[in-house]
Structure 1
Amino acid sequence: MNHYIDVRTQIPRARQTINNNNIKTETEGGVPEWAIIELQGLIQMKKEDQSGPTVVGDLHYFSRNRHPVLILGHHVLNGKEVKLEQPMAVIEKDDTTSYKVKAIVKKKLLFKSRPKPIISNVSEKV
């Protein structure tokens, strides 16, 4: 069974709060958990004049065996989920000296093999 996850999806954690004078959580229900996507090589985009977020590809995640599959254009990359030794926090500085925890990163999705091309069947008749 696979689950389709948008690369920009945030998964909220239940009841995780950080209490400090200058640190606050983004939501009352907890801090979202993000993952790092690590790729080998270079991603070249055709359009350079995009404003705002750019969709790079589709991330499919097979939760049974923790197997992520990333589709970039006409290529497929198979990866694996790796737990980070030390969790990281994504923080954002406000206009003053206060900081807001945007997310916690505890894992990365590692794609270290070469991409495989997606080839469709073409009929012999033209």
Structure 2
Amino acid sequence: MVILIKSPAGENATEWAIIELQGDLKSHSESSFEGQFVGDLHFTKSGTPLLIIGHHLLYGKETRMEKPLALLEKKKNDAGIEYVIKCIVRKKIIFKTRPKPIVGATT
């Protein structure tokens, strides 16, 4: 079986990264996280990734992946099906420390 994969000529794809979390995300409801807002990703002035989920704060580290991944889009054409490379993922942001609670100021 032959699978056609092509890269669009002359297009500069935006740079993507994968977010890796150690542990589990749990919700009060039994519904899936698919398509749901999970948290905010920020970077400090020094470039450290910062993830805010609810009232928890996670500090991460940006690393280069040993083996890059390709994000492919499946398209149908006259000859059959082809896959077009949307981007190459070369970085990942790892959050492996325990979350720190965000505590508001007391008066």
**Mapping 1:61-80, distance limit 5 Å:** 61-62=43-44, 65-80=46-61
2:102 match: 118
How far apart, in 1, do the equivalents of 2:65 and 2:101 lie? Answer: 30
Q: 1:122 to 1:65 in 2, by over 3 A?
A: closer
Per the TM alignment, residue 97 of structure 1 is displaced from its structure 2 partner at its CA by 2.0
1:32 alignment partner, SS class: coil
Q: What do residues 17-44 of structure 1 show as CA deviations (whole Å, max 9, x unaligned)?
A: xxxx64143x963122210101111112
2:68 alignment partner, SS class: strand
Q: 1:68 to 1:91 in 2, by over 3 A?
A: same
Structure 1 residue ranges without an equivalent (≥5): 1-20
How far apart, in 2, do the equivalents of 1:29 and 1:37 lie? Answer: 25
One-letter amino acid matched to 1:122 = T
Query: C-alpha root-mean-square deviation of aligned residues, in Å?
Result: 2.5
* Pairing partner for 1:92 from 73, 83, 86: 73
- Asked if structure 1 preserves the Cα contact closer than 8 Å seen for 2:5 and 2:85, the reply is no
* Pairing partner for 1:57 from 35, 39, 42: 39
- Asked if structure 2 preserves the Cα contact closer than 8 Å seen for 1:40 and 1:111, the reply is yes
2:65 alignment partner, SS class: strand
Which TM-score applies when normalising by structure 2? 0.77
How far apart, in 2, do the equivalents of 1:91 and 1:57 lie? Answer: 26
Identity %: 42
Structure 2 residue ranges without an equivalent (≥5): none
> Which of 72-81 and 90-99 deviates more?
90-99
Q: What do residues 58-93 of structure 1 show as CA deviations (whole Å, max 9, x unaligned)?
A: 00013x533100000000000111111222111122
Report how many aligned residue pairs link the two structures: 100
